[in-house]
Chain A
């Protein structure tokens, strides 16, 4: 069984972000890490491999510049088998339409993929669109928001997944190959082991270009994108500190609070 995990790098979730007048975002000396949601995807791939008695290969791929290596290395350190970076200067400026095209072309090139795992969304651009777009492009079963893989049958080529929707869990049976978009709650991602970190440092990370994956230059980068980002800015700041309500008694305090909330018309 060949499992592919798609991942990308993001600034650490605790980073303090600033944005300059030109719209460049910077995160000071905060580290670049694997997109936190993607750790669930890597973990799930490793759990599947373990359940199949090692009878699976886990490849992690990332479309991105040099910095994308951070995500690949973390996945290898957790236990993935190999990491491939997909990059070409003409990929610069890709929206999800173009990124999903590039990832789908890379997966097509591999030819033997049974399962593609994703994180729920990237914590920077936070679109959450890539998993379903890749599934749709490849014609793989589209299983997003998966909180549990209830059954995976590589021989019968089927998967049963529980998807978390607003009203509850939808159980879906679908054929392989499939795309599984993972969410938190599906597992507890492991920490990289010391041996894993050593392996990740020594591993080779091939880079596949647009030509390598047979990508049409008209479908990548800004030219292949539908969405253009026009401005990035900080949200208006809140009024500042809370108005602390403090009266003689607990009862009086909550009475004042209720008065205020009624005046605000929120209750």
Chain B
């Protein structure tokens, strides 16, 4: 076994998912204790350019597989390649983002290598030589710590925005190693036949700021001021389940236990009461602002700042003020 750390760099159409760079940053920190190199694994088609980025963000070495069979994320070819690279190079750890794709690849690789995979980590630190991961359980009502005491490599998926994104340093140098895929197209049963991109780029998990609306917005048109505020802040739009169930906004926007888990720097909850299941998805946000006409709403217990009043007055006023200040 080496002391190297593998990091899977997730990309879609050549765009790298935020948690991948965060994972490189986490790997750099861990490698200070572990020694060994940080090795980025980049799979796709037409993705050579990303190798340099990975080095700038902190990789010492890049395993680059550029092949049509890897154009779309598919579990079979990605797992086969990742597991084979791990068998050849024997890293101590494998890190990746806890995105939909990462939460598929991590455990599949772990099964292939008969090792442990810790899901959705929010912190990683060495204690007495053992890497200890912290992760939320029971919808974030509790936390637990986990280790992978014996098996190697140990696999960890990291929650979006739980680890700081490193500053890229274009002067860093590293080694790029071309690798070939393991499976041929005819050995891959799954075929990707289409991709419908979400319009309006919801991607809540990556958003630094989220403006969310709940039942208090009163109807589909009630999301207009929410969207306007979001545009001003370059924020993503979130929603409570009540608003989604009412059909005012698609499910993709739902935050909470049965929706997305988010952790932005700023979460502005408008007309959301703050039910425990909603809190489950947003309680780790750095600063929470609540705008609600009911001073007793539970959201005020979680929020750092609150405005008690009508969202239809305060949300547009807030957007106006921000436009002035941010010069937007």
Contact = CB atoms under 8 A, between A and B. Distances in A.
A258 B321 contact: yes
B303 A144 contact: no
A42 B221 CA distance: 35
B189 A257 contact: no
A214 B306 CA distance: 58
Given A164-B100, A169-B195, A184-B259, A133 B317 contact: no
A167 B198 contact: yes
Interface in B266-288: 266, 276-277, 283, 286-288
A14 interface: yes
A188 B76 CA distance: 31
Interface string A140-156: 01111101000000000
Interface string B76-110: 10010000000000000000000111011011101
B318 A244 contact: no
A235 B307 contact: no
A245 interface: yes
B148 A171 contact: no
B265, B318, B326 interface centre (most CB from chain A within 10 Å): B318
A43 B205 CA distance: 28
B115 A166 contact: no
Nearest to A145: B100
B119 A127 contact: yes
Nearest to A239: B304
Given A166-B17, A229-B145, A266-B286, A160 B321 contact: no
A204 interface: no
Interface string B140-171: 11111111111100100000000000000000
A191 interface: no
B300 A97 contact: no
B117 A96 contact: yes
A250 B320 CA distance: 11
A135 B111 CA distance: 10
Given A171-B195, A242-B290, A230 B132 contact: yes
A37 B306 contact: no
Interface residues of B, number: 95
A226 B266 contact: no
B193 A123 contact: no
Contacts of B116: 95, 97, 225-228
Contacts of A246: 307-308
B49 interface: no
A129 B117 contact: yes
Contacts of B289: 257, 261
Contacts of A206: none
A50 to B, nearest CB: 23
A235 B136 CA distance: 9
A136 B108 CA distance: 6
A267 B233 contact: yes
A190 interface: no
Interface in A196-254: 225-235, 238-246, 250-251, 253-254
A156 to B, nearest CB: 14
A133 to B, nearest CB: 5
Given A136-B111, A167-B203, A243-B304, A254 B321 contact: yes
A91 B196 CA distance: 42
Interface string B4-20: 00000000100001000
Given A13-B257, A126-B139, 6 more contacts: A126-B137, A230-B147, A233-B144, A235-B136, A241-B301, A253-B317
Interface of A: 11, 13-14, 17, 19, 25, 36-37, 95-97, 100, 123-129, 132-133, 135-137, 141-145, 147, 160, 162-175, 184-185, 225-235, 238-246, 250-251, 253-255, 257-258, 260-262, 264, 266-267
15 contacts: A17-B138, A96-B107, A126-B120, A126-B137, A143-B190, A165-B101, A166-B17, A168-B198, A170-B192, A173-B190, A227-B117, A228-B116, A242-B304, A254-B307, A258-B322
